[in-house]
Structure 1
Amino acid sequence: MLTDNLKHINQEILLACEKAQRSVSDVTMIAVTKSVESQTAKELAKLGVVNMAENRVDKLLEKKMALKDFSVIKWHLIGNLQRRKVKLVINEIDYFHALDSFKLAEEIQKRAEKEISCFVEVNITGEESKHGFKPAEVLPFVQEIAEFDKIKIIGLMTMAPLNASEKELHEVFSELKKLQCAISDQHLSNAPCTELSMGMSNDFPIAIEEGATFVRIGTAIFRGA
């Protein structure tokens, strides 16, 4: 079932890339393994999946330990990170997708022993239930942490509203793409900002059409598994 699901997802990624006249090599699929046990994550690794994500620190550390024999795996923390837990996880991950405050950046700078590839989380729609900077706050924040040599802002991340229409999805993802380009055009040494982490199981083809380079997929991989 995992094999079939991955094949279907890869086909959808290919079709979305063709529709947007993009290369499929520009899109990285991240398997979000939060809903499955380590054994299922191992099966994914055996099928060649090399990017895996968790939204909780304890679960990421647990899965990374269980899959220690798969050294090629890149680990992504995609959930919001409490400052008190930074020291536990920051040197165990390759990507952090939810940088959402200056104080969190300070703690990462203090605890990291290597440069961490980070996405700034952006709340495009202004929903109170979501974390992240307002679009107008992103560039000032990136400039404010310019001296933090342990943080590289490789891109921006957002989540679309639940039950959004296709039109709304296109608008949200397009807005993040415009913001990403505006920051990239600043040519800041700490923030190349060439990447976009957006799109999940229910909306990733639209996210790809609008420029996503990382899509975070869980449900669609494990459906029926």
Structure 2
Amino acid sequence: MRSGRKNENIDIIAVTKTVDVDIINESINLGINNIGENKVQEIQKKYDNINDDVNWHMIGHLQSNKVKYIIDKVNLIHSLDRLSLAKEINKRAKAKDIVKDVLIQVNISEEKSKFGLKKEEVVPFIEKILEMENIRVKGLMTMAPHVENPEEIRYVFRDLRNLGYKIENRNYENIEMKYLSMGMSNDYEVAIEEGSNMVRLGTALFGKRIY
């Protein structure tokens, strides 16, 4: 790998939006063990028909009123981006007697079309959710603008990595910067060079899809 990092240190999340269940199961048989969905209804539709030995990731924008449908299904929620959602996740996790792992979504590029907190909002946000006993923050997630040359968006990944260092150095109890979920099919190499250890790949694995 160009970054010089070992493959086993990087988790590949197979983005299975619009992908048929049979193809997903075939991918799992070939070694994929993390699958990501953008929509709650897709998880609900596929969950019972997918091989058990797989980790589910909620990678899309999550509406608070749909948390209850996936709280005990997904291993990691990548898109925590507001206090009302944190409260709902905490409430639903508590009701199920589980602790839910989450990533905080950060809109580094501040694109209006993307969800996520601004960089300067992340630390105050974390301090508000420190007392929520049924949420465990495991890192950060971002989505970079789609460009032809990934070098143009290298700063997005670098800024998220530096934010992770900043949070780590504050030594918050029960807050861990274990994962940087950044990089997709068109820019994952640059993301990995800048510290990503969780990439979300759809087109690179399943080919181009028409949504």
| TM-score tier (shorter) | over 0.9
- Provide the rounded CA distance (Å) in 2 between the counterparts of 1:216 and 1:79: 11
TM-score by length of 1: 0.88
Q: Give distance in 1, aligned partners of 2:136 and 2:24.
A: 28
For 1:146, which of 112, 120, 130 is the aligned residue? 130
Q: Deviations over 1:169-223 (max 9, x none)?
A: 2111000000011101111122112210000001001100000010000011112
- Which structure's residues are more often helix, by fraction? 1
Q: Deviations over 1:69-98 (max 9, x none)?
A: x22200000001111101111111000000
- Partners of 2:77 and 2:173 lie apart in 1 by 18
Q: Could you say what secondary structure the match of 1:194 adopts?
A: strand
Once the 2 structures are TM-superposed, how far is the Cα of residue 48 of structure 1 from its aligned partner?
Answer: 1.6
Aligned 8 A contact 1:201 1:220 in 2: yes
- Partner in structure 2 of residue 219 of structure 1: 203
Aligned AA for 2:107?
Answer: N
Correspondences of 1:1-225 after superposition (within 5 Å): 15-18=1-4, 22-67=5-50, 70-112=51-93, 113=96, 114-163=98-147, 165-223=149-207
Partner-residue secondary structure (3-state), 2:132: coil
User: Structure 1, residues 77-128: CA drift from partner, whole Å, max 9, x if none?
Assistant: 0001111101111111000000000000000000012111111000001111
Task: Specify the SS of the correspondent of 1:16.
Answer: coil
Look up the equivalent residue of 2:20 and give its one-letter code.
E
Letter in 1 for 2:10: V
SS for the counterpart of 1:31 is strand
CA offset at residue 163 of structure 1? 1.4
With 173-182 and 189-198 compared, the bigger mean Cα shift is at 189-198
In structure 2, distance between residues paired with 1:146 and 1:23: 33
Q: Is the 8 A contact 1:184 1:194 kept in 2?
A: no
Give me the CA root mean square deviation.
1.4
* TM-score of the superposed pair, with normalisation by structure 2: 0.93
Q: Which has the higher contact order (CA 8 A, sep 6+)?
A: 1
Separation of aligned partners in 2, 1:90 and 1:224? 30
1:93 match: secondary structure: coil
Most deviating of 147-156 and 186-195: 186-195
